Amino acid sequence: MLAKRIIPCLDVKDGTTVKGVNFTNLKDAGDPVALGKRYCDEGADELVFLDITASYEKRKTFANMVMRVAENINIPFTVGGGISSVEDVERLLEAGADKVSINSAALKNPNLIDEIARNFGNQVCVLAIDAHCFDNEWICYINGGRIATHRKLFEWAREGQERGAGEILFTSMDHDGVKNGYACEALHELSESLAIPIIASGGCGAKEHFLKAFKYGNADAALAASVFHFNEIKIRDLKEYLKDNDVNVRL
């Protein structure tokens, strides 16, 4: 069995790491370069950097910031925000990213998934999906959770896999920042219907939430932000807890 991955997430706005609740009320969480280095040193398996207002502000991800983070870490590094073309992907890979996360642009132009997979390989393309649950139906959102689309979570995730996405990064907007746990039922359904890895995102507030995402949600990786940024959970302590509860992690 592959080891489960622990992934800190740097949501970056105006050059600083931020964290909010339900995608709003953002507060400063520190310098992304320093945080990235800290998480690498503490034993994170991967790092995700999301320029959270790039799509909304119709601009490209800050490649110089990506380069500075990449220079200070030696773990896989995923970058997202404002990516809408193969040229954008190439620029970020050259800056030091190992993978790219696409969200809004893929919903607007699904062929982008095919193009990235064809040019760089499936392993480079992470399809990020922000979704909100209405009447037991998960609806996909774009532009940092600002605009609802007509697409539904499960059918869009399946289409993403068919087009060549290597992983699905699913964020529950309902759970984001609330710290009551991940959307484990939706995670479980995704894991049952897809062959590619699922990354859980949104709602972690305790070690038990990671455990449930892995054991019940069957997630392949769990992403979190504020519990790491504000030292509520130490990565080493978390991994030892998971290992003690029969979850395969890298120590």
Distance between CA atoms of residues 198 and 7, nearest Å:
12
Q: CA triplet 79, 80, 81: central angle to 5 degrees? A: 140
Strand 137-142 vs strand 5-13: parallel, antiparallel, or unpaired? unpaired
Q: 11, 45, 88, 220: which one is catalytic?
A: 11
Q: Which one of the listed residues 88, 130, 176, 220 is annotated catalytic?
A: 130
What is the rounded (10 degree) CA torsion for 31, 35, 36, 42? 170
Our answer to whether residue 130 is catalytic in this structure is yes
Give, to the nearest 10 degrees, the angle between helix 235-244 and helix 207-215.
50
- For residue 27, count CB atoms less than 10 angstroms from its CB and return exposed for 0-12, middle for 13-18, buried for 19 or more: exposed
142: left (phi over 0), alpha (psi -120 to 50) or beta: beta
CA-CA distance, 56 to 35, in Å (whole number)?
25
Q: Which of 216, 200, 207, 214 is nearest to 241 (CA)?
A: 207
Q: Is 51 a catalytic residue?
A: no
Residue type present at position 55: S
Q: Which amino acid is at 198?
A: I
| Interatomic CA distance for residues 251 and 241, integer angstroms | 11
- Positions marked catalytic: 11, 130
